[in-house]
Chain A
Amino acid sequence: MSVNSDPHQSMLNRRQFLIRSAKAGLSIAAAGAIGYQFYESSAPDGIQRESEYAGLPDFSIPDTGSRLSVVRGHDRIKTLQLALKSIGGIETFIKSGDRILLKVNAAFASPPMLSATTHPQLVSEITRLCFKAGAHEVIVTDNPINDPLSCFNLTGIAEAARKAGAKVVLPRENFFKYMTLTDAKLIRNWPVLHKPFKDIAKVIGVAPVKDHHRSGASMIMKNWYGLLGGRRNIFHQDIHNIIKELAMMVSPTLVILDGTTAMMSNGPTGGSLSDLKETNTMIVGTDQVAVDAYGATLLGKDLSELTFIAKAEAYGVGTADYRSLNPEVISL
């Protein structure tokens, strides 16, 4: 009944007055409570903050020590098999039920023959061997420079992985988490590809040997660049330190450096067969610094040109003196 419906009854009766007062009181209380709840006396600091996490776990196998093996030959599959065998077989590194993350280099939308990216043959063979050793799942991932989908398709990596039974994970915005790496100066509050590492037991890095005009060479350590998100290329201003920090960030189970065909010039994109040279070498090891140091010899680079190697060694990531690991150099 509305108050003014009858002109003779324009006065409120008690009941109506009480109901109305109760409603008004509740509304006032609600408005006050909302105001109090959200009251903020200080201005925002204007900086976008993200929750951080501390870093990736150590994926290396504690008791194997540093191992390195080099096999010469042009058949990737055979050289890989032999190299793995000579460092103790894949069973030493992969245990039954493991989830494996394979960090490939899929940076560019470029066909496999141009050797700018990890060769699909390697992807399928490593996946096959992992499953043979009892792996539960193999995840192949990278955050490429060119369009991710095109990169994985054109490089042949997606198809090779799928055929071998591995799962290809393309980066999405919510797959990254902000990380501040201990002792790092550059990887601080920086987005790092995180989601694919969920429940991962072992990490294998696999990359080609390539010339790189800014850093001197792009091999295993530089390949971890593909785990960074955000505007990562501002780190090119301090390229050797960022590569060192990437090596600090990832302690892989195993790294595979493919020097079957090395990109000698015009790197890291290449684009022409004339940029390539058959260097017929497969380098497999547990020490990424030693592996890269060996890889540098394929490019004919002096270690003093590749400052990042000395820097990573100085931090204790590994040893640049690959000879100290007594690598078995086998020819097919």
Chain B
Amino acid sequence: MKIITARRISQIFFLLLFFWFCIVTSLGKEWWQLRGWPVNWLLELDPLVGLGTLLTTHSLYKGLIWGVATVVLTIILGRFFCGWICPFGSIHQFVGYLGRRHKSSLEKAKINRYHRWQVLKYGILIFLLSVAIADLAVFLIKWPYSQPWIFWTLILCSLVAAIIVTMVRTPVDPKKLSLYLACGVGIWVILGYIFQDARILSASLQIGLLDPIPLVYRSINLIVLPLIDGSALKLFSSPRYYEGSWLIGAIFVTAVLLNYKTPRFYCRYICPLGALFGILSRSALWRIGKTETACIDCHLCEKNCEGACAPSSEIRINECILCFNCLDDCHHNQIAYQTAPSAAGEILSPDLSKREFVFTFLSGAAAAPLLRLNGNLTDNWKAGLVRPPGAVFEKEFLSRCIKCGQCMRVCPTNVIHPAGLIAGVEGLWTPVLNFRIGTSGCQHKCIACGNVCPTAAIRPISLDERLGRNRFAASGPLIIGTAFIDRGRCLPWAMDKPCIVCQENCPVSPKAIFTREQFNAIHMETPLLVKTANFRFVEFDKAALQADRLATGDYYCLINEQSDQQPRLIVENTTRSLTISPKAPWEPPPTPGSKASIQIRLQKPFVDPERCIGCGICEHECPVRGKRAIRITAENESRNRKHSLLPRT
């Protein structure tokens, strides 16, 4: 079997595996639903996810340890992940093939030539990692003060080492060396002094914006699946919607269509994961290269070169994605995958100057503090930012969420959505609850999102913890927000209409929404006067009523002069008369001329903040559909005590 056949099989296998994972990430007991399928595996194999979260959280969460395997294999083999596994890369490769299949070999070789802008992806990688690096930077900067013994011992050791080196290797100027050392240590100590209060330095995990694996998960799950659902494929019991999906879709479609112009455009110019692999592959044990210096310069090896890594001349090892097309296309067998470096020479590092590196690094490191200046993490927190149950506190959350959308995919009620700008620019596409969309609010007895989250931005909580039972009885149920009634829009509060749908649907026991009964006189231009009456029947002086409208069980009649002042339930009415329930007749009957009013019995809803968990089923069901008369905000959420509404013990 030819090696490119093996590569194609591998690509098809992983692409199908990925699609399969997307399909089975749905809650249920069937074999084609989420029941132990390792749906996050490709995300876990992605070492950029591991590295990013390692920088921001100082830990490799659970399956992210798989990233180490990818790193090890990359160091041995080169960028095999890009050419053999990455599902996004396979999509690009296929579309790129469609785009160039009618072109001549010469034209193909031309579009696969190395372009200097391919260095851009290294800049993107450095930028995204430096956004996340603040914690590490803070640790290093503060080192002289936090662990002075270790720091100064290390400095001393390096000084001794430097002296030894100087003595052994004469060309080094001892004066110069000591000056450099002194300056370095001095700057370090001064920086540490300046940034003692490192409030300004903050880390944010943004790799998910462009990391191809979260990107392709997000795009397929939130865009492609909902679009094709309902055709022959019936994936969801009701149509799925995702707010702001246009942006995710536009980026995905653009990235895919750009392959028509330049094959693997995304991989060559944008992909930060590819850049990471590029750096890792510089000392790969095996690499592609020419076996002889001299060749006929036919450039056929570049006809289908996916990485645009110039195998015909000095090959760029860090750009080579191991597609092996050059090996196959070379008619003279002059290209091999070998341990020896290419006979025509190699370029191992990206064309990134020191200056460019420092510039990109500093702008990345400055970006996160800049974003935090809006105060989103302190007093300016956004009330509408209701996170899924089990989401860790916001600062930690932003250090963990890779915007992969797995929680949004698995949510059985479609209540989790990719955030727009509500969580700030850095919170783009992080999960936020939208109670207007979906089949229900956040279901009371569901913990799916936390159990699928690959980075524990949403913790894998148990049902007991969510509901505050058994072991968690003392801490009470998990609260994601609190319902507030908009009394200007609520039907019983503002419009004298009975309703209490919110109370009916509140799943908490005892209910977090309770009612207070109230009788309100319905509005009339002039008061009703009794003309004739008996114990159960009264006729008024004018025809002011709508026939049969008052017999709904909610309307009552009050005769002002009656001593008990009790409204009586109306069971029948015409335009000018009414009959009350036999259960409580008037004693004595109203006298002619006395004033009467029609009263409506209202149950007015109130929220008990001690009980409300913020599930939003009330908001989802509220019959005031435009802007709901009861809405959830993040007040009282368990994950941040500063958002408490009540004094908590």
Enumerate chain A interface residues (CB-CB to B < 8 A). 108-111, 145-150, 153-154, 170, 172-173, 212-214, 231, 233-234, 236-241, 265-266, 268-272, 274-275, 304, 307-308, 310-311
Contact = CB atoms under 8 A, between A and B. Distances in A.
Nearest to A107: B505
Contacts of A110: 445, 507
B332 interface: no
Contact of B504 (A153, A212, A241): A212
B444 interface: yes
Given A109-B445, A271-B444, A304-B569, 16 more contacts: A109-B440, A146-B440, A147-B412, A147-B413, A149-B27, A214-B500, A236-B504, A237-B497, A238-B554, A240-B552, A266-B510, A269-B506, A269-B507, A269-B509, A271-B507, A307-B552
B583 interface: yes
Contact of A148 (B439, B507, B569, B571): B439
Interface stretch (B77-85, B280-288, B532-540, B617-625): B617-625
Given A213-B500, A231-B623, A237-B498, A149 B603 contact: no
A154 B497 CA distance: 34
A71 B412 CA distance: 39
24 contacts: A110-B507, A145-B440, A145-B505, A146-B617, A147-B237, A147-B413, A150-B27, A170-B237, A213-B503, A213-B504, A214-B500, A214-B503, A214-B504, A236-B501, A237-B491, A238-B498, A238-B552, A238-B554, A241-B552, A269-B506, A269-B507, A271-B509, A307-B552, A308-B553
B515 interface: yes
A62 B151 CA distance: 95
A268 B499 contact: no
B444 A109 contact: yes
Contacts of A238: 498, 552, 554
B601 to A, nearest CB: 11
A150 B508 CA distance: 17
A213 B502 CA distance: 11
A188 B642 CA distance: 50
Contacts of B497: 237
A9 to B, nearest CB: 36
Given A153-B29, A241-B552, A269 B510 contact: no
A111 B621 CA distance: 21
B239 interface: yes
Interface in B483-524: 491, 497-501, 503-511, 515
A270 B509 contact: yes
Given A213-B603, A266-B511, A148 B237 contact: yes
User: Which 8 pairs across A and B sit closest by C-beta, in order of nearness?
Assistant: A271-B509, A307-B553, A272-B509, A147-B439, A240-B553, A146-B440, A147-B413, A147-B440
Contacts of A153: 28-29
B443 interface: yes
Contacts of A271: 444, 507-509
Contacts of A240: 552-554
Contacts of A173: 238-239
B146 interface: no
Nearest to B498: A237
A162 B238 CA distance: 21
A263 B445 CA distance: 19
B271 to A, nearest CB: 37
A76 B77 CA distance: 66
Interface string B436-478: 0011100111100000000000000000000000000000000
A274 B445 CA distance: 18
Chain B binding site: helix, strand, loop or mixed by DSSP? loop
B445 A149 contact: no
A172 B504 contact: no
Contacts of B603: 213-214
Contacts of B569: 304
Contact of B510 (A148, A172, A272): A272
B408 to A, nearest CB: 15
B28 A149 contact: yes
Contacts of A109: 440, 443-446
B508 to A, nearest CB: 6
A268 to B, nearest CB: 6
Contacts of B166: none
A57 B28 CA distance: 35
Interface string B549-574: 00011100000000000000101000
A311 B581 CA distance: 13
Contacts of B507: 108, 110, 269, 271
A212 B603 CA distance: 13
B515 A213 contact: yes
B553 A172 contact: no
Nearest to B581: A304
Interface string B11-36: 00000000000000001110000000
Given A109-B443, A111-B445, A231-B623, A236 B500 contact: yes
Nearest to B584: A304
B37 to A, nearest CB: 18
Nearest to B582: A304
Interface string B619-634: 0010101000000000
A136 to B, nearest CB: 25
Interface string B89-100: 000000000000
A271 B554 CA distance: 28
Given A108-B507, A272-B509, A145 B621 contact: yes
* Residue of B27, B505, B581 most packed against chain A (CB within 10 A): B505
B539 to A, nearest CB: 22
A167 to B, nearest CB: 15
A213 B625 CA distance: 22
Contacts of A108: 507
B28 A234 contact: no
A80 B444 CA distance: 32
A234 B623 contact: yes
A132 B325 CA distance: 67
Contact of B583 (A149, A150, A304): A304
Contacts of B623: 231, 233-234, 236
B506 A236 contact: no
Contacts of B506: 269
A149 B504 contact: no
Contacts of A269: 504-507, 509, 511
B443 A266 contact: no
A159 B88 CA distance: 39
Given A108-B507, A148-B237, A231 B625 contact: yes
A63 B440 CA distance: 43
Given A153-B29, A231-B625, A266-B511, A148 B238 contact: yes
Nearest to A150: B412
B195 to A, nearest CB: 49
Contacts of B499: 214, 236-237
Contact of B498 (A147, A170, A239): A239
